[in-house]
């Protein structure tokens, strides 16, 4: 490690948003800890970063397991030095379900990884950052946190992450630790592509419900995360930044009952 090299820890960094974020932060000069349960995929990301001239190491973590998260925090600081950035990207998707059909086991699994995993990682790293009076944490929310979707565990869990982000921003702000979140729309990750291939997501619908007429790329979200961790955002904390190709602005607009009269071409697309 060099004196000016920031250590950034990215959970869920073996794929999707986490992988794109790890590569983006490394390209900006950070030493990146690729933290994930999947060792083979995690090491592949490390290789990608190194081949591009960056620096990274893999560390195994199960974010749903308290001991595993605590070990990650301890091992990062002892091996690489103080963590200046934590990105909580580890998470799983959920297929559409009704309360009658959705198993409690699957419900609890989604919450254990998405919300509890985020909470455990914040709890492990935030006190260390606060003690040094320096650090930035970015959590991952979703547009399903603010719109009603048939995602009984995923949506409420993301809403809880948004509330946690605000709470921690207020708590840790006096210690110069910033806590923010990004709110992706439909992101074409490996998990999403697998659901599209299985017929459980309609890419056409996801595309037409965005203002820009496209899905979000993992790199789009990574760029937003990089900004929130940068000095350019030094006075920004407690926010949730939508990165959704205009989904939130468009989804209700398209279904307004008067749209056909004033914007027939747009109404036809709906």
| Residues annotated as catalytic (active site), given as ranges | 154
Which contacts qualify for 37-41: CB closer than 8 Å, 24 or more apart?
37/61, 37/62, 37/63, 37/90, 38/14, 41/14, 41/15
Pairing of strands 135-140, 177-184: parallel
Dist CA 204 CA 215 (whole Å): 10
Q: Which two tokens stand for residue 32?
A: 């990146």
Helix, strand, or coil (residue 18): helix
Q: How far is CA 81 from CA 36, 42, 54, 73, 99, in A?
A: 19, 20, 17, 10, 46
Q: Which contiguous run of DSSP H or E holds residue 136? A: strand 135-140
C-alpha 236: how far from chain center: 17
């Amino acid at each position: 490690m060099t004196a000016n090299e920031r250590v950034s820890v990215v959970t869920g960094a073996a794929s999707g948003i986490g992988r794109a974020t790890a590569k983006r932060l490394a390209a900006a000069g950070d030493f990146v800890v690729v933290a994930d349960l999947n060792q083979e995929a995690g090491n592949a990301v490390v290789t990608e970063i190194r081949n591009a001239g960056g620096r990274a190491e893999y560390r195994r973590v199960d974010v749903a397991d308290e001991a595993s998260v605590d070990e990650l925090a301890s091992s990062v600081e002892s091996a690489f030095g103080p963590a200046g950035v934590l990105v909580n990207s580890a998470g799983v998707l959920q297929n559409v379900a009704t309360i009658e059909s959705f198993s409690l086991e699957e419900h609890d699994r989604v919450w254990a990884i998405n919300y509890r995993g985020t909470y455990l990682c914040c709890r492990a790293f935030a006190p260390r950052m606060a003690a040094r009076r320096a650090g930035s944490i970015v959590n991952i929310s979703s547009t399903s946190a603010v719109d009603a979707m048939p995602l009984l565990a995923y949506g409420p869990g993301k809403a809880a992450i948004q509330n946690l982000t605000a709470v921690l921003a207020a708590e840790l702000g006096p210690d110069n630790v910033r806590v923010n979140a990004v709110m992706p729309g439909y992101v074409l990750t490996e998990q999403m592509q697998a659901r599209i291939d299985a017929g459980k997501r309609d890419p056409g619908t996801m595309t037409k419900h965005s203002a820009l007429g496209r899905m979000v790329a993992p790199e789009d979200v990574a760029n937003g995360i990089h900004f929130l961790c940068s000095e350019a955002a030094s006075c920004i904390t407690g926010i949730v930044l939508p990165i959704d190709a205009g989904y939130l602005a468009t989804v209700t607009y398209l279904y307004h009952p008067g749209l056909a009269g004033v914007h027939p071409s747009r109404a036809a697309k709906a």
